[in-house]
Amino acid sequence: MLALAAAAAAGVAQRATAACRAQYCAAISAAVLFQGSAASKQCLVDAAAGAAASLSSRRNTAAAAAAGDPQPHAEKPGQAFLASLVDYEKLGVPKAAGVDSSTSSSPSSSSSSSSSSKFDLRVMRQLLAELGDPQQQLKVVHVAGTKGKGSVVVLLSAILRASGLKVGTYTSPHLFDIRERVVVGDGAAAGAAAAADAAAVSEGDWEALAVQAQAAVLSMQQQQQQQQQQQQAAADDRSTTGSSSGKPSHFEVVTAMALKHFAQQQVDVAVIETGLGGATDATNVFAPSQLQLAVLTAIGLDHVEALGGSLRSIAAAKAGIMKPGVPVVVGPQGTPGSSTTAAAAAAAAAGDAAGGGSSAEVWEVLRAAAGQPGMQCPIVAAEQAVQVTPAERSSSITVLTGTAPNLARQSISVTAAMSPLQDNGRQQQQEQLSLPNVQLQLVGSHQAGNVQTAVAAALLLRQRGWVSISAEAIAAGLQQAWLPGRFQVAEMPGSTGCHIVFDAAHTADSAAALASTLRAAFPDQPVALVLAMAGDKEHREVCGALQACKPSVVVFTTVPIAGRHHRAAPPGTLAAQWQAASMLGPGRPLRCRQMIQANLGAALEKARHELTAHGSRAGVVVVTGSLHAVAAAMKQLGLAPIGSAA
């Protein structure tokens, strides 16, 4: 009898799912084939989204009837569509893909290249047009850079929310769920306290957005097929970030979904982080009238092959987000905390290349891009305008007690004096700021530059008419902002007095910042380092920088990168590069126990055991090497989810 009931339930499930699938396909087809007005076509796209929701609901109900599961989980059409797209975060970015190879002299040009492996913006613009050009409804702060752009984005977003604004925040990559990338927070709901109140897009809205994007992509492909038939062309050899058929990539579609969501939510301002480079990045679709500011954080050597192979080519790619007449905030370049960086920035911003080093090279490229005919972008050097110093008697990092997801704090003082810019003839006043004691959750000496950049951007926005940005809002935003996986300190589950630090450092600079911050927070405690990295990083340089952590033990392991094992560095490779860095580096080789574990769970247990076995009950386990390693470790230890990233 039970078998007959189960069979009957399965039959009901199959019929219900098939009927709803037909409804969904019909709605999608109607949206694609419809040749009427954009508004009417949008109604059909919305109908497709409704059909998708109905399909998902009926699948869940049918599956519950068939399996007796009160909480079934079924694949959703929109998510299946997203999973079918080319995802360069999983595959790796092609060589020189992020270089603007157009013949135009403008760094913000988005013309196509002759190689299908290079990114351009034509497919992205077509996709946005199919979705009603949501980007045209937004006011935007666009942030690019090699290091610190994620921190600057969350700092500035928190400041704007604390100013009573409804803020959309777009970041990448994510830790646990892709919806973390798309966040909206309405500061008008609770004033300054709303700096911490921001929510990722809901599952239902995300599915509806994905279905709308799918309908848009199908429409694009149909139009392309019609053009090919009319031209009797064998293929379209356009340059795209997707396939040779003109299908957008995963990042392009997700970016378009984010912009659509922000437009639907009617945000006051959107803070948008680039994915790769800038000039040809899918986020670089805003007109000068929409762009309130461009922000460039520290620029260095990462994604080198994808961005042209040199520091100059990387800087040129990042400078591609500049737009004619729109002010640009440039964060500190070069070594954080150097006494010469502010002077170098002042000289470089003024046009004096003296001072040498990579900082001067980056500034030369940025000044040239901003000063091109037709561009004329005013530049604000953040470290000239804003000063960040340790608060009195609070030069070290404090680690709190308790079960909060982030226990690290650092007290700073912020002062600023920003001269008025020559901005379209508008009368402006000098911006002044004095915040004597701000408790940061984003800790480390390297965060001073990110605070300088975010505060300079906030003051420049106020200078340009965003008058609700007050000193109180800036202080509240700085204190509320935090970014999971960036020197995040928690109590080690199952241990007494032991802490665990999660930090996604994957370059030599970020590894050096981690080591400095770690020893400021835990000056005497023994350290067990767990290291897992992607295969395309500078392993020896990162290992060399991490040796400043002075670990008593280091455990090498592997974690899938964006779900792909082939992109992960083998633990044996990391061990060999650690030894090479130790032998070839300055000073005496570091003596510590070195171990290899096949998986992260075993590596975490080994690290904890090594500390406790030698009487180190108050030690520190550090997980680093990639954001993927950090996320996997949090899941392994039961510390996920940990809240919004913005």
Segment 55-77 mean pLDDT: 50
Q: What is the pLDDT of residue 602?
A: 98
CA distance between the termini of the chain: 53
Q: What is the pLDDT of residue 309?
A: 87
How does pLDDT run across 281-313, given as a tens digit for each residue? Answer: 999 999 999 999 999 999 988 788 888 889 999
Higher model confidence: residue 295 or residue 239?
Answer: 295
Question: Does a structural domain hold residue 157?
Answer: yes
Query: What's the rounded Cα separation, in Å, for the pair 472 and 159?
Result: 9
Question: Does a structural domain hold residue 100?
Answer: no
Segment 412-420 mean pLDDT: 92
Domain range spanning residue 501? 488-636
Higher model confidence: residue 126 or residue 19?
Answer: 126
Q: Provide the pLDDT confidence category of residue 355 given band limits of 50, 70 and 90.
A: very low
Of 123-132, 190-199, 218-227, 520-529, give the lowest mean pLDDT range. Answer: 190-199
Q: What is the pLDDT of residue 606?
A: 96
Q: What is the pLDDT of residue 185?
A: 95
Domain match, 432 and 536 both: no
Query: What's the rounded Cα separation, in Å, for the pair 113 and 116?
Result: 8
Q: Give percent above pLDDT 70 in the chain.
A: 76
Residue 348 has pLDDT above 70, yes or no: no
> What is the pTM (predicted TM-score) of this model?
0.82
309: which DSSP letter? Answer: S
CATH of the domain at 460: 3.40.1190.10
Q: How far is CA 218 from the centre of its chain?
A: 28
φ/ψ of residue 92, rounded to 5: 95, 145
Residue 481 has pLDDT above 70, yes or no: yes
Domain match, 614 and 498 both: yes
Question: Does a structural domain hold residue 390?
Answer: yes
Domain match, 324 and 434 both: yes
> How many Cα atoms are found within 13 Å in the side-chain-facing hemisphere of 601?
3
Q: Which two tokens stand for residue 529?
A: 């380092």
Q: What is the pLDDT of residue 617?
A: 67
Q: What is the pLDDT of residue 71?
A: 46
Question: Does a structural domain hold residue 90?
Answer: no
Question: Does a structural domain hold residue 114?
Answer: no
Q: Provide the pLDDT confidence category of residue 246 given band limits of 50, 70 and 90.
A: confident
Phi-psi region of 598 (alpha: psi -120 to 50; beta: other; left: phi over 0): alpha
Q: Provide the pLDDT confidence category of residue 589 given band limits of 50, 70 and 90.
A: confident
Residue 357 has pLDDT above 90, yes or no: no
Could you tell me which of 261, 322, 258 has the C-alpha nearest to residue 295? Answer: 322
Higher model confidence: residue 24 or residue 636?
Answer: 636
Residue 558 has pLDDT above 90, yes or no: yes
Q: What is the pLDDT of residue 462?
A: 96
Could you tell me which of 517, 509, 503 has the C-alpha nearest to residue 545? Answer: 509
Segment 524-531 mean pLDDT: 96
CATH of the domain at 517: 3.90.190.20
Segment 579-586 mean pLDDT: 92
Q: Provide the pLDDT confidence category of residue 403 given band limits of 50, 70 and 90.
A: confident
In this structure, are residues 185 and 156 in contact, taking their beta carbons and an 8 Å threshold?
A: no
Question: Does a structural domain hold residue 38?
Answer: yes
Segment 424-436 mean pLDDT: 75
Domain match, 494 and 606 both: yes
Query: What's the rounded Cα separation, in Å, for the pair 368 and 379?
Result: 11
Segment 525-530 mean pLDDT: 96
Domain match, 132 and 225 both: yes
Domain match, 422 and 561 both: no
Q: Provide the pLDDT confidence category of residue 382 given band limits of 50, 70 and 90.
A: very high
- Which of the listed residues 433, 453, 480 is the one where a domain comes to its end? 480
* CA-CA-CA-CA torsion sign (589, 592, 596, 597): negative
Domain match, 573 and 516 both: yes
Domain match, 523 and 613 both: yes
Domain count, the chain: 3
Domain match, 69 and 170 both: no
| Mean pLDDT, all residues of the chain | 82
- Which of the listed residues 440, 463, 480 is the one where a domain comes to its end? 480
φ/ψ of residue 7, rounded to 5: -65, -40
Domain match, 438 and 492 both: no
Question: Does a structural domain hold residue 282?
Answer: yes
How does pLDDT run across 496-510, given as a tens digit for each residue? Answer: 789 999 999 999 989
Q: What is the pLDDT of residue 3?
A: 43
Domain match, 147 and 251 both: yes
**What are the angstrom distances between the C-alpha of 361 and each of 90, 237, 367?**
32, 36, 10
Whether the bond into 523 is cis, omega within 30 of 0: no
Residue 597 has pLDDT above 70, yes or no: yes
- Which of the listed residues 34, 55, 74 is the one where a domain comes to its end? 74
Domain match, 432 and 321 both: yes
Residue 120 has pLDDT above 60, yes or no: yes
Give the CA radius of gyration of the chain. Answer: 25
Could you tell me which of 646, 587, 645, 592 has the C-alpha nearest to residue 622? Answer: 592
Q: What is the pLDDT of residue 500?
A: 97
Segment 89-118 mean pLDDT: 58
Segment 624-646 mean pLDDT: 82
Question: Does a structural domain hold residue 81?
Answer: no
Q: How far is CA 10 from the centre of its chain?
A: 43
Q: Provide the pLDDT confidence category of residue 431 given band limits of 50, 70 and 90.
A: confident
